[in-house]
Amino acid sequence: MEIQRSGEDYLETIYILHQRTGYVRSIDIATEMNYSKPSVSKGMSILKELGYIIMAPDGQIKLTKAGEKRAKEVYSRHLLIREFFVKKLKVNPTTAEIDACKVEHVISEETYLRLREFMGECLSDESGLT
């Protein structure tokens, strides 16, 4: 079973919350994403079934190695796309954040790699290192 966009959003949120607080529960995810607790519960069941998370008896949710890898990939795409929108296209940061959330799921690997290369070159040019 392939992970859906919502699953990637959950993984990314778990990753971000864990970085922020060190402890993640379903209620934290629901609050952060403004989702209902039943929706989050269903999402967590799917992620657990896919081997992306572990749910502890105390309610804590932890990413597995595969889950953390996937979460970091999605979050990395998000940050790069948001940075591109803000720094190169001069998009309002709020709009850039919203749009990056959408684009991170549909952009091809080839386009993402080219964008990453482009942004690396642009940042080097801006720093005067080239």
pLDDT digits (tens, 9 = 90+) for 48-95: 999 999 999 999 999 999 999 999 999 999 999 999 999 999 999 999
pLDDT of amino acid 129: 44
| Rounded distance between C-alpha atoms, residue 43 and residue 36, angstroms | 11
Q: Which of the four pLDDT bands, split at 50, 70 and 90, describes residue 127?
A: low
pLDDT at position 43 over 70: yes
For residue 106, what are its two tokens?
A: 């549909």
**In degrees rounded to 5, what are phi and psi of residue 55?**
-110, 115
pLDDT at position 124 over 90: no
Handedness of CA 76, 104, 66, 68 (dihedral sign): positive
| Rounded distance between C-alpha atoms, residue 54 and residue 80, angstroms | 28
Q: Which of the four pLDDT bands, split at 50, 70 and 90, describes residue 121?
A: confident
Query: Which amino acid belongs to residue 62?
Result: K
